[in-house]
Amino acid sequence: MAKDGVEKSRGQKLQLVTEPKEFFYELIRDALSAQRVNVQAETEFYLVHLMERFISTESLYPRSSDGSLQEEALALMVKGAFEQVALEQQRSLFRHVGDFSLYVAGFFQDSLNRKIVDLDYYIGMGGAAYRAVAEREESQQKQKIYGELAEKFPKFVDVLAEVSDKTTPRSEKDLLRMYDVWVRTRSERAARALQEAGIIPSQSARKTLQ
């Protein structure tokens, strides 16, 4: 199995993805195990569904009147959620902020190095958004799912980043960026990647802010 489309690895045979849900389930399960993150089954399924849904760019960004995709700042998304009168609309928009933040912070973590806002920003906004959903949910089961997503948001970012490592071709590791991620978040995934490259992160390094 593989992703929707085709994958190529250094001249090896192409692999067609026919069952994305099953494919992402295996990746998420393996990444959770590698990161030593224990989650309830419903939260694990939520992560699989998120990966499957965001295969399409249209799920990440809304479309304007002319049909083009629009990238909206997280702060504006949150503002829009608070301005909604209907509780269901608030939940929906906060949920999208959480999903969007988690996916971008995990799957496109390296690209954040070239943006004005960084990984910390997405982690903070995403965790707060899921917490807002949990507070507005009437179902106790859904409260537990979103509460867990909020509480373990940085760990889930690492989980999706590991999935990205396994599915996105890369010419080389950006070790400086990986070290910066470790300094900021104490990510176990980042520490392991550095150690595999022969770099031992200093435990005395302090978290820095830009």
Residues 162 and 78 in one domain: yes
Tell me what percent of the residues of the chain surpass a pLDDT of 70: 61
Residues 147 and 163 in one domain: yes
Over the stretch 22-59, which tens digit does the pLDDT of each residue have?
A: 888 999 999 999 989 999 999 999 999 998 888 765 66
> What per-residue confidence (pLDDT) applies to 29?
94
**pLDDT of residue 170 exceeding 60:** no
For the residues 139-157, what does the mean pLDDT come to?
96
Residues 166 and 183 in one domain: no
CA distance 151 to 17: 33
Token pair for 153: 């948001």
Residues 79 and 140 in one domain: yes
Residues 42 and 106 in one domain: yes
Residues 120 and 76 in one domain: yes
Residues 35 and 99 in one domain: yes
- In degrees and rounded to multiples of 5, residue 165 shows phi and psi of -60, -35
Residues 22 and 115 in one domain: yes
Residue type, 41: A
Cβ–Cβ < 8 Å for 27, 7: no
Number of domains in the chain: 2
pLDDT: which is higher, 119 or 113 = 119
Q: What's the residue count for the chain?
A: 210
Fill in the DSSP letter of residue 63: B
Residues 187 and 166 in one domain: no
Domain that holds residue 121: 6-60+71-170
Residues 184 and 109 in one domain: no
> What per-residue confidence (pLDDT) applies to 49?
92
